[in-house]
């Protein structure tokens, strides 16, 4: 207890909280804004009741040369302006199958699910970028419908649009949507060995093959062997894609 107390002084300790101060907790967007300040990813909040964007962060990754406020005002019109035509059709499909999936879930579990998918954005200079969306519920209506949701936007580690999947928090369950078969296929998350996780973490620290080999007391060829098997397991072609995949699916 004494050790814990070393973290707290008069400068960072708070006594009683007034009713007006407690009211601040009703403004959930302050939490979202704080999160946006400490992540490299873009994020925004969708209000399905108003059919609009309630908040857009100022990370420029997916703004396509607009300001956050401009994107917030455009709302879904933003996609019709900046998404490739074929990918716009894909987004409409994802919206349909995603909500069909969602409606079949127990209401008490609906906040545990996150949908992920990739599509191309086109900026004002006609440059194309493949991004990933991860969308999860924030609030449900009284009947269990999604009222507000948060979407995290990052660069995709894939090479093509699609890659639609849904994961359930706290489980290894994953559903991948097969566009050709038009159905969800339930699978389990890829499991990495302790050695594969260790090598990925060392790569994430910026170490070279030889440095990793020295660190874990193996040869450079052994590191290359584990790396090759890791690429095969994840279906990627380089260490950057492997790190992105492992991070996105919380494998390490």
**pLDDT value at residue 120:** 96
Fold of 194-248: Arc Repressor Mutant, subunit A (1.10.10)
Is 26-188's fold the same as 194-248's? no
pLDDT in tens, 184-215: 999 888 888 889 999 999 998 999 999 999 99
| Beta carbons of 30 and 21 less than 8 angstroms apart | no
Superfamily in which the 26-188 domain is placed by CATH:
PAS domain (3.30.450.20)
Residue 162 predicted with pLDDT over 90: yes
pLDDT at 2: 66
pLDDT tens-digit profile of 94-150?
A: 999 999 999 999 999 999 999 999 999 998 788 899 999 999 999 999 889 999 999
Read off the pLDDT of residues 17-52 as tens digits, 9 standing for 90 and up. Answer: 788 777 777 788 888 999 888 888 899 999 999 999
Residue with tokens 């999947």: 165
Can you tell me the mean pLDDT for 1-28? 75
The pLDDT of residue 69: 95
Percent of the chain residues topping a pLDDT of 70: 98
- Average pLDDT value for the chain: 89
pLDDT at 1 over 70: no
Q: Would you say 62 and 127 are in contact if contact means Cβ atoms under 8 Å apart? A: no
Question: Can you give the residue ranges of every domain in the chain?
Answer: 26-188, 194-248
Q: Is the pLDDT of residue 13 over 80?
A: no
What distances in angstroms separate CA 170 from CA 109, 159, 200, 249, one per listed residue?
A: 11, 28, 22, 12
Give the span between the Cα atoms of 161 and 133, in whole angstroms. Answer: 11
* Residue range 65-91: mean pLDDT, rounded: 93
How far is 174 from 121, CA to CA, in rounded Å? 26
Are 53 and 33 in contact, with CB atoms under 8 Å apart? no
């Amino acid at each position: 207890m004494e050790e814990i107390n070393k973290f707290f002084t008069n400068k960072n300790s708070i006594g009683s909280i007034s009713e007006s101060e407690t009211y601040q907790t009703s403004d959930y967007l302050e939490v979202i804004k704080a999160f946006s300040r400490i992540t490299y990813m873009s994020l925004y909040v969708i209000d399905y009741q108003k059919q609009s964007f309630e908040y857009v962060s100022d990370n420029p990754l997916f703004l396509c040369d607009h300001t956050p406020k401009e994107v917030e005002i455009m709302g879904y019109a933003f996609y019709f302006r900046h998404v490739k035509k074929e990918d716009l059709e894909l987004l409409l499909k994802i919206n349909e199958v995603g909500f069909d999936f969602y409606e079949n879930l127990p209401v008490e579990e609906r906040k545990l699910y996150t949908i992920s998918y990739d599509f191309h954005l086109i900026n004002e200079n006609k440059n194309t970028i493949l991004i990933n969306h991860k969308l999860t519920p924030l609030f449900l209506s009284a009947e269990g419908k999604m009222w507000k949701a948060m979407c995290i936007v990052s660069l995709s580690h894939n090479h093509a649009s699609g890659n639609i999947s849904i994961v359930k928090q706290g489980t290894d369950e994953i559903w991948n949507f097969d566009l050709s078969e038009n159905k969800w296929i339930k699978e389990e998350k890829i499991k990495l060995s302790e050695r594969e996780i260790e090598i990925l973490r060392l790569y994430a620290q910026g170490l070279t093959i030889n440095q990793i080999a020295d660190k874990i007391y193996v040869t450079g060829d052994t590191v290359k062997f584990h790396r090759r098997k890791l690429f095969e397991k994840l279906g990627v072609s380089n260490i950057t894609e492997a790190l992105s995949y492992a991070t996105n699916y919380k494998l390490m």
